[in-house]
Structure 1
Amino acid sequence: MSLNSTWNHRQNKLFENALAIYDKETPDRWQNIANATGNTVEHVKAQYQLLVDDVEQIETGKVPLPNYKNTVAKASYKLEHRT
């Protein structure tokens, strides 16, 4: 797997769960996360940096947040008005 390859949904969920389990204070954090995801430490650190970059983009307003309220209302309307 190359560093620029895309992780699939399952790998991302494993990664997210491992981040929640192995916090910054965990000894061998990156190795534990690598073991949990089936990736190398190098891949895990690269994926983490992508996550940090994404969060930074969102927090600085460079990526607009979706209008979930409007989306939920539309979905709810469609469910209520099925024929």
Structure 2
Amino acid sequence: MASWTARQNKLFEEALAIYDRETPDRWHNVAKVVGKSVEDVKRHYEVLKEDIKRIERGDVPFPYKN
């Protein structure tokens, strides 16, 4: 899987907020904003969803600040 820069991740998050599930050609629009292929952004989205599930299940410890 191709690596993503912090900037690309930020653009990805912003594009997801703009192009919601109801947007025609959502993945083409997101890919264009991020500069990745449609396949790359779909794969990245699936990884994000899995990360969220792991966090919600408590599988990922949160760092504590004192």
TM-score normalized by structure 2?
0.93
Query: Which residue is equivalent to 2:44?
Result: 47
How many residue pairs were aligned? 66
How far residue 56 of structure 1 moved from its aligned partner, in angstroms, is 0.5
Distance 1:53 1:66 in 2: 20
Partner amino acid for 2:18? I
How many Å apart are 1:24 and its aligned residue?
0.7
Q: Percent identity?
A: 56
RMSD: 0.9
Bigger radius of gyration: 1
TM-score (norm 1): 0.75
Unaligned runs of 5+ in 2: none
Question: Equivalent residues in 2 for 1:1-83 (5 A)?
Answer: 4-68=1-65, 70=66
- 1:5-25 superposed Cα distances (whole Å, 9 cap, x missing partner): 220111111101100100111
Unmatched 5+ residue regions in structure 1? 71-83
User: How far apart, in 2, do the equivalents of 1:47 and 1:61 lie?
Assistant: 21
Extract structure 1 runs of 4+ deviating beyond 2 A. none
* Offset at residue 66 of structure 1 (A): 1.8
Q: Structure 1: which amino acid aligns with 2:42?
A: K
TM-aligned CA deviation for residue 53 of structure 1: 0.8
The alpha-carbon deviation at position 30 of structure 1 amounts to 0.4
